[in-house]
Structure 1
């Protein structure tokens, strides 16, 4: 079993110009939120399309970027 890890090189947020912890934690947070919100969004979609779309897009548009930016390493 492999551990998911993400590396972002070329960033200017820290002296070594490489991020490992932020993107990796963002990937884990994305997966946890997606497991919860995607099925709920699919259930809500037939009744309220815009709310269902927003709910299914939340992990990609809000959670991943927010966690990735919060941790500069």
Structure 2
């Protein structure tokens, strides 16, 4: 019997200078998963806040892409 599960995204970033092989797989992949988890929570909250304060709502909805993904991706050098 075959295993049917959720597909796991694999992100590859080539050309980085943070390791000798010049490619990163673990950092960008975990960064994407953290981005997706944060987006599931923050985007609905951002939509509600956007109804009252557009600037604050935009910042909340942009938080996963501007803060979460880069910080997780850069924290893991491989």
Q: Distance in 2 between matches of 1:44 and 1:10?
A: 39
Q: Does 1:69 align with 2:74?
A: yes
Q: Where do 4+ consecutive residues of structure 1 move more than 2 Å?
A: none
Superposition deviation, residue 6 in structure 1: 0.2
Across the aligned residues of Structure 1 and Structure 2, the Cα RMSD in angstroms comes to 0.7
Q: Does 1:22 align with 2:27?
A: yes
Structure number with larger C-alpha Rg: 2
Query: Counterparts in 2 of 1:1-73, with a 5 A limit?
Result: 1-73=6-78
The unaligned stretches of length 5 or more in structure 2 are 1-5
Q: Distance in 2 between matches of 1:26 and 1:5?
A: 10
Superposition deviation, residue 13 in structure 1: 0.3
The TM-score normalised by the length of structure 2 is 0.90
1:20-51 C-alpha deviation (Å, 9 max, x unpaired): 00000000000000000000000010111111
**Matched residues, number:** 73
